[in-house]
Structure 1
Amino acid sequence: MRLKSCCVYSVGVVCILLLIGGIAMVLSQVFQKLINNRVKQEIVLVNGTEAFSVWQNPPPPVYMQFYLFNLTNPAEVLDGAKPSVVQIGPYTYREYRSMEEVKVLENGTKVAAINPKTYVFVPNMSRGSEDDLVRTANIPAVTVMEKFQDHSVIGRLIADLMRSMSVGVFGTFRVGDLLWGYEDPLLKALKLLVPLDDHFGLFYKRNGTSGGDYEFLTGTQNYLDFARIDKWNGQSSLNWWSTDDCNMINGTDGASFHPIITKTEKLYMFSTDLCRSLYAVYESDVSVQGVPGFRFVPPSEVFANITINPDNAGFCVTNDTCVGSGLLNISVCKEGAPIIMSSPHFYQADDKYVQDVYGMNPRKEEHETAIDINPLTGLLLRAAKRLQVNVFLEQMSVFSQTEKIRTLVYPVMYINESVVIDEESAEKLQVVVTEANVVINIPFIVIGLGILLGVAFIVLICHQKGPQSTAAERQPLLAS
């Protein structure tokens, strides 16, 4: 009889717990939806919100590191040998990038702003100084040669001028000049004949200046539009590439993302350095200063050749100059300069480019672009944008300096633009994430307590003792 009662009570308790569990699942989804709706309402580009403050003045420090490749065998390269380079640096700069001239547009659905960036050299985070010398490709000279290689008369005149000035394919430059600008002697001489800027630098006119005029969507109408670029320099699309898809301006500027991010979505970004939009996909879960996040990285398909990714055909400058996988020819947006972008050390590029230059050692952990984002808020936890600047070199019959040179993509330098969430911001975000997790898990906490109480109830029922028999009930048995 006691066993039967135990079984009945156990079945009853299990049924009740199953019912509670079902209710808990439903309540958890309801609470999750309530939290998501609250986040969507609060993370908008509206003055007075925390999201607006972080967008306008990002608190974590941003650092820009420059690594340059010093050429050790210039004479041999001009005679047809492979280049041999040695990486030097980093030359580290603190980057300041607050949004300025912010204006509210179209009833608060958009904001206009410029994003000037200022760089300040940080000696104690650098290996070397701005006065270091580096031997590398002479980009102004190569650009001039590329521009006039099909003009035999003018080309020969420029070739004679270059010889008289001892200007060649390669040159030695002060690091600070190569980065921020210097008066180039060849350009200065040509300026007497052609109107052009006689200064050159890889980041010339980019210290303390804006990368363009932006119009951002605020996310008030759709949370997915938070900080998404609607227009850049007054245009809603680009005009450098040959297809509408390649000319699209998609996503944010890479510094902000919408909240409620899922692992299955693509995060789009527009890069002025690459003159195009690109996307990143989920790679893994991460934790940065105790805050959970998702790591997103650009897949190899983004920069794959047209055989692997036909959608990239629009990025071919002309039909006969499609570069291989992992490369992007951006000469169309760099005033004809033969600049080709890639990941550092040709990471994820065709192996040919790695083998063409001694000193290339691509490594995922050092050369991959990666973004770690808190999925609830869309806030950056950690990011590293890594890009390499290369120059296309080839033989040009008009210029005798190039008559034996190999056709190759020559690496000049690469950047690592990085940020890690500061301690104060991480602590604030930890509180938000913890509170959200507690609210979402309240139903499961309740069912956990219910299970413990149910198990305790069953144990008590099944182990309680039966009633004791009296002396009168035992007497006949003894008498017998």
Structure 2
Amino acid sequence: SAMTISKSKIAIGLLVVGIFAVVFGTVLVFVGPIIIDDQIVKNVEINPKNELSYTMWKDIPVPFFMSIYFFNILNPDEILAGEKPMVEQRGPYVYSEKRWKDNITFHDNKTVSYQEYRQYFFEESMSAGNESDVVTIPNMLVLGASVMMENMPFPVRLLISAAFKTFKESAFLTKTVGELMWGYDSKLVDFLNSYFPGMLPVKGKFGLFAEFNNSNTGLFTVFTGQDDIRKVHKVDSWNGLKHVNYWNSEQCNMINGTAGQMWPPFMTTESTLPFYSPDACRSMELIYQRPGMIKGIPVYRFVAPKTLFANGSDYPPNEGFCPCRQSGLLNVSTCRHKSPVFISHPHFYNADPALLETVSGLNPNEEDHGLFIDIHPVRRILLMHVIQPYPLDFYSLKISEYQKTGKIAEVVMPMIWFGESGYIDGPVLNTFRTNLVILPMVMEYMQYIVIGFGLGCIIGAVALILSKKVRCLTLSFAVPLLHCSSVVRIPIHPHTAGTLSVVNHSQH
């Protein structure tokens, strides 16, 4: 009896615990994602109280690398004589990139302003050569000055042409990688700045990346996401502008999306990645391609659509970026001080095949030359991996007008391309793996373990109750059956009948 009572208590206890666990687990199934999403929203908004994510945003402790490739011209003299240009890709020359945000100001309308600075350090061990390597590329000074001279009076043009000769400046330039990157002293620059102040955008040394080092990408004002997480990181204004005025249509001048490193959370395969690139002076948009994994963290890969640099006739919305040449080239002269500079994907990838026929030595392929970004879609918005977030492939246009460049047919020459890549590593990666993969997984398994445990308890309780009832049933039915057997005469074998009846009677 005591045993029966304790079993009853155990059964009731198990039943209560089981029902509670099942209810709790079921609630977790529905409430868990809401709790996680709420945490994500809190962590994702730009708020100094969120120590980890704010530090990530402000100091960007992610290794970024810039890989520079030069298109070394193999036949400069022959090009001047009218032959097809031949180039060979030299590089990569790799620079580690330190980025940080400064002059951070929070505003009442839930936005924050900042300037992002960049600093570059040459990484010889990762590079295919040294900064002392010598390469020959189009002479942007001569070509740029030639374009700027077009509207000047004839005597001025004559004077500048004479200056080209005097300073032995030709259509091509042979310098070390270091000089081309960070600047070299040019007598032509000094001369033009003395006699035609304001004609050239450069003062002092002239280098392709001289303006990049220790400089910022402009004053960005972005939404903090504190009132609406869907707006987090989206650009409200750049250098105080709500739109730029480099292009010829309202749509092309729009400043869309983010600053190109983080995007709002909760992405789907239908999402796009819009961002404004100060280097390209325009907004761009990437589209979803496929899912993937990076170091155990699930990511979505977004790529540049084929229409990104298409011309106006192939893709009418791009008409505002014209005057256009072949598809695959973006004319950025309006935001490059009127210099004849174009942007495309490296090696004319995704461009009009006709462009490849004008220059020998190019070999486009998606793996090396496609623009893509790998990003964690749901939990956080940190960029996992970037390749060429700014697909800046500078292309210089030959100008067939002045003495030194007179014989050259007009051709778009590849000059340089660079890719930027960044990836999370080390302790930061571990933190993100914990937050993005392990914790959500634990939460998910937890709810099913709790439900399973609850169901186990309920089954245990039911089993206990049933086992008690079965014993009672056995006892209550056993005795009457024995009584019946004594009364009923069953015709059995004669030898056993008497025995049976005697036995029964004696039992009776």
TM-score w.r.t. the length of structure 1 is: 0.85
Residue 410 (structure 1) shift: 0.6
Shift of 1:156: 2.6
Equivalent in the alignment of 1:342 = 344
Residue 192 of structure 1 and its aligned partner are, at CA, apart by 2.7
1:72 Cα deviation (Å)? 0.5
Name 1:17's counterpart in structure 2. none
Alignment match, 2:290? 284
Distance 1:271 1:260 in 2: 23
Contact 1:291 1:426 in 2 (8 A): no
Other-structure match for 1:436: 440
Residue number in structure 2 paired with 1:236: 242
* 8 Å CA contact retained: 1:64, 1:417: yes
- Map of 1:224 onto structure 2: 230
Cα distance in 1 for partners of 2:228, 2:176 equals 49
What whole-Å deviation, never above 9, does each CA across 1:370-389 have from its counterpart, x for those lacking one?
11111121111111114311
| Alignment partners' CA distance in 1, 2:184 and 2:363 | 31
Which stretch of structure 1 is more off in the superposition, 70-79 or 147-156?
147-156
Q: Contact 1:228 / 1:251 at 8 angstroms: preserved in 2? A: yes
C-alpha distance in structure 2 between counterparts of 1:123 and 1:89, whole Å: 11
Aligned partner of residue 192 in structure 1, secondary structure: helix
- For residues 450-461 of structure 1, what are the structure 2 equivalents within 5 Å? none
1:412 to 415, 418, 421: 415
Task: Give the drift of 1:26.
Answer: 8.9
Instruction: Report the CA distance between 1:67 and its aligned residue.
Output: 0.8
Q: Secondary structure at the match of 2:311?
A: coil
> What is the CA distance between 1:166 and its match in structure 2?
2.2
Return the alpha-carbon distance in structure 1 between the equivalents of residues 148 and 219 of structure 2.
30
1:63-212 equivalence runs, <5 A: 63-106=65-108, 109-151=110-152, 152-196=154-198, 197-212=203-218
My pick for the range that moved more, 185-194 or 411-420, is 185-194
In structure 2, relative to structure 1, the CA distance for the partners of 1:58 and 1:82 (3 Å cut) is same
Query: Contact (CA 8 Å) 1:28, 1:442: kept in 2 or not?
Result: no
Q: Using the TM superposition, name which of 242-251 and 155-164 deviates more.
A: 155-164
Counterpart Cα distance in 2 of 1:178 and 1:227: 34
Specify whether residues 315 and 448 from structure 1 end up closer, same or farther in structure 2 by C-alpha distance, changes over 3 A only.
farther
| 1:337 shift after superposition | 0.8
Matched residues in 2 for 1:33 and 1:118: separation? 41
Aligned amino acid, residue 119 of structure 2: T
- The alpha-carbon distance between structure 1 residues 315 and 24, as it changes in their structure 2 partners (threshold 3 A), is farther
Q: Deviations over 1:143-192 (max 9, x none)?
A: 11112135433223322332233211112012111111122222222223
Question: Which structure: larger Rg?
Answer: 2
In structure 2, relative to structure 1, the CA distance for the partners of 1:59 and 1:406 (3 Å cut) is same
- Residues 113 and 214 in structure 1, CA contact (< 8 A), matched pair in contact too: yes
Q: CA deviation at 1:441?
A: 5.2
CA distance in structure 2 between the partners assigned to 1:262 and 1:429 by the alignment: 20
Aligned partners of 1:59 and 1:422 also within 8 Å = no
1:269 to 275, 286, 306: 275
**Structure 2 counterparts to residues 330-479 of structure 1, below 5 A:** 330-375=332-377, 376-385=379-388, 386-396=391-401, 399-433=402-436, 434-440=438-444, 442=446
Spell out, residue by residue over 1:326-348, the C-alpha distance to the aligned partner (whole angstroms, 9 max, x if none).
21111111111111011111111
The C-alpha deviation readout for 1:122-147, integer Å capped at 9, x for no partner, is 11111222121111100000011112
TM-score (norm. length: structure 2): 0.81
Which structure 1 segments of 5+ residues have no match? 1-20, 462-466
Percent sequence identity is 32
Whichever residue aligns with residue 379 of structure 1, its letter is L
Give me the whole-angstrom Cα distance separating, in 2, the residues matched to 1:302 and 1:476: 99
Query: 1:346–1:26: structure 2 CA closer, same or farther, 3 Å change rule?
Result: farther
Give the SS at the match of 1:261: coil
SS state of the match for residue 79, structure 2? helix
Q: Give the AA of the match of 1:395.
A: S
Provide the aligned C-alpha RMSD in A.
3.2
Query: Residues of 2 paired with 1:363 and 1:89: CA distance?
Result: 17
Letter in 2 for 1:388: D
Moved more, 185-194 or 118-127: 185-194
Unaligned ranges ≥5, structure 2: 1-21, 461-465, 467-473, 495-508
Cα 1:76–1:25, aligned 2, differ >3 Å: closer, same or farther? farther
Mark the CA change 1:454 to 1:47 in structure 2 (over 3 Å): closer, same or farther.
Answer: closer
For 1:25-40, what aligned pairs fall within 5 Å after superposition? 28-40=29-41
Give the number of equivalent residue pairs: 451
Equivalent-residue separation in structure 2 for 1:155 and 1:129 (angstroms): 38
d(CA) in 2 for partners of 1:189 and 1:113?
Answer: 37
CA distance in 1 between partners of 2:313 and 2:449 (Å): 53
**Paired residue secondary structure (2:189):** helix
Q: Say if 1:285 and 1:293, in contact at 8 Å, map to a contact too.
A: yes
For 1:300, the aligned partner's letter is: K
Taking structure 1 as reference, are residues 29 and 410 closer, same or farther at Cα in structure 2, changes over 3 Å only? Answer: farther
Deviation of residue 48 (structure 1)?
2.5
